[in-house]
Amino acid sequence: MTTPNISWTRIGLPRRSFLKGATALGGLAATGLMLPRPAHAAEGTLKTRTYADIRSMDPAFSQGVVDEEIQAAIYNKLIQYNPGRQWGWQLDAADMIEQVDDTHINFALKDTIGFTNGFGAMTAEDVKFSFERIIDDTLESTNKPDWGPLDHVEVTGERTGTIVLKNAFQPLWSITLPYIAGNIVSKAAFESVGGKIDTQPVATSGPYLHAGWEQKQKTTLRRNPDWQGEPAAFDEIQIYHIDDEKAAEIAFEAGEIDFTRVSLDSVERLKSSPIEGTTLDEYPSLYYVWVGMNLDNPKMANPKLRQAIQYAIDVPTIMAAAYFGAAEPSTGIIAPGLPGHRETSLTGAAANLEKAQALMAESGEGNVSLTISVLNKSANVTAAQIIQANLAAIGITLEISLHEGATFWELGSDANVEMVLNRYSMTPDPYYATSWFISEQAGIWNWERFKNEEFDALHLTAQSEADPVKRAEMYVRAQDLMEESGAYKFLTHEATPVIYRNSIVPALRPDGLPLYRYFGAA
């Protein structure tokens, strides 16, 4: 057995350099000068909040932002999202990364990054292991789609390698490398525990260590003393699981937490009566909310009926009552700021009652009685009641069927669903949005059972299209097709208002989600 010729911190100190350094240090000490502190830009504890408990600390199985908020702080990726108002990325574990052609991305790792618990330096083998395990069919990773057409990772040196794709994949830079599937784990650590982990990381490498997890209570991150990169600002980050947004707001006002998302209905109050020493910031969200109509349900088969519904729904009223004026109507599934965002929708945001009534008359339908399935959340219930009133105006009786989370998320496979008020999360690439509405997804995530060959082809082509203008046009057309089918009425992308104490400097993605590793102290 050979011992790898690497150490995770590069000393690289020749005898002559050592003597020079020692002399300089001695001189500084003699003159009483203090050396600048290499780390610990700020002390203390950051207390923050998450809306759900963690599910997995394994990047192959983590499910969305809740897990990723923690993983982004304890693991490294080749690149990380930039905090700020514009989507972009910065180098993280990578010292260099470049796309040499459509299917090859070369990278070189920094030599200052290592894993905890004695698992050594981060190497290209770790990168290869981390990425390839996600596409390995035997692992059955839930995040396999994020890696798209990854073929393999070629290791070209201890810290250098090449990501090889089967075909061009534009979302690689926006949702693969800087997000969940881009987290790099220690091959040795994972192999020591059988290849995968659950909620307890075996070895981490980021600026914070995973110091503890109390189920449904909190996760504690602690400053990694061996971290060689930009210093972590806090000794400790405590992330409390507070599901209810109102409870989180009360906790914030009581001084129990320093940062939280607030509910949309609180924005107006917090603006008119600001809490001293705090800042309220509003960020756009990427989520998309829409009313879907099941094309396979005979009751929804009449296209004129579906169009009448599209024109009857008054989105501005929904924005006012359900979102308290803190969100804007959407034009599709792709939010402003992302390629493929449409400036306007085909059916408009405001109701066009005359047109809806005319379409209803053309449809030849009478005594129409439909059911809309709704997840039992305040905004959804309010929105559904407005839709109910809107449809009543064109002679449609709409029954509201409320569901708990468990039953609601099973509705995708229920062919009897008629209408549904739905909301999906989103990552900053349009590919992620269209992927749920392809024909293959009918009855899985494509609840409307929308099947369109042109849409499917656009989804496939656009993911490889290097020309950003052409790519954006493709996604615009894809959304046109969705809307033309009559199966969709787009409502909103919502918004992400956050509040924080002025003693901290939050680092947020452009959609308002926290990047804890970059949080600072004021």
Partner 1 sequence: MTDLTVPKPRSELGEIVYHLVRDPLGLTGLVIVLLILASALFAPWIAPYDPIALNVPDRLQGPGAAHLLGTDQLGRDTFSRVIWGGRVALQVALPTIGGAILIGLLLGMIAGYGPKWIDNLIVLLFDTVRSFPTVMFALAVVALVGPSLNTVIVVIMVTSVPTYGRVVRTLTQSLKEAEFITAEKSLGASTPRIMTVHILPNVLGPLAVLAAMDIPTVVGLEAGLSFLGMGVKPPTPSWGSLLNDGYNLIRNTPWLIIAGGIPLILTTIGFTFLGEALRDVVDPKLRGKGGK
Burial label for 422, CB within 10 Å (0-12, 13-18, 19+), is buried
Residue 139 or 411: the one with the smaller Cβ distance to partner 1 is: 411
91 near partner 1, rule: CB under 8 A: no
Tell the smallest beta-carbon distance from residue 467 to partner 1 (Å).
44
Identify the DSSP state of 417: -
Q: Which of 106, 278, 297, 388 binds partner 1 (CB under 8 A)?
A: 388
327 near partner 1, rule: CB under 8 A: no
Residue 58 or 314: the one with the smaller Cβ distance to partner 1 is: 314
Q: Which of 17, 23, 376, 425 binds partner 1 (CB under 8 A)?
A: 376
- The amino acid sitting at 332 is G
Q: Which of 384, 472, 487, 515 binds partner 1 (CB under 8 A)?
A: 384
Q: Which of 95, 407, 484, 520 binds partner 1 (CB under 8 A)?
A: 407
Tell the smallest beta-carbon distance from residue 388 to partner 1 (Å).
7
Contact pattern from residue 253 through residue 272 relative to partner 1, giving x for each residue in contact according to CB under 8 A and a dash for the rest: ----------x-xx-xx---
- Provide the 10 A C-beta neighbour count for residue 168: 16
Judge whether 371 and 398 are in contact, CB under 8 Å.
yes
418 near partner 1, rule: CB under 8 A: no
Q: Count of residues binding partner 1 (CB under 8 A)? A: 29
Q: Which of 246, 416, 440, 444 binds partner 1 (CB under 8 A)?
A: 246
Tell which residue, 248, 266, 216, 232, has the closest CA to residue 46: 232
Tell the smallest beta-carbon distance from residue 232 to partner 1 (Å).
34
Phi, psi of 184 (to 5 degrees): -105, 125
184 near partner 1, rule: CB under 8 A: no
Tell the smallest beta-carbon distance from residue 504 to partner 1 (Å).
23
∠ Cα 464 465 469 (to 5°): 150
381 near partner 1, rule: CB under 8 A: yes
Identify the DSSP state of 4: -
Please report which helix (H) or strand (E) contains residue 109, including its range: strand 104-109
Please report which helix (H) or strand (E) contains residue 505, including its range: strand 504-505
The encoded tokens of residue 56 equal: 């997995």
275 near partner 1, rule: CB under 8 A: no
369-405 in b/e burial notation, b at 16+ Cβ within 10 A? ebbbbbbeeebbebbbbbbbebbeebbbebebbebee
402 near partner 1, rule: CB under 8 A: yes
Report the site for partner 1 in 289-318 (rule: CB under 8 A): 317
Rounded distance between C-alpha atoms, residue 250 and residue 426, angstroms? 28
Residue with tokens 């003699």: 30
Q: Which of 135, 322, 396, 420 binds partner 1 (CB under 8 A)?
A: 322
Helix (H) and strand (E) counts in the chain: 14, 22
Residues lying near partner 1 in the complex (CB under 8 A) are found at 246, 249, 263, 265-266, 268-269, 317, 320-322, 324, 376, 378, 381-382, 384-386, 388-389, 399-404, 406-407
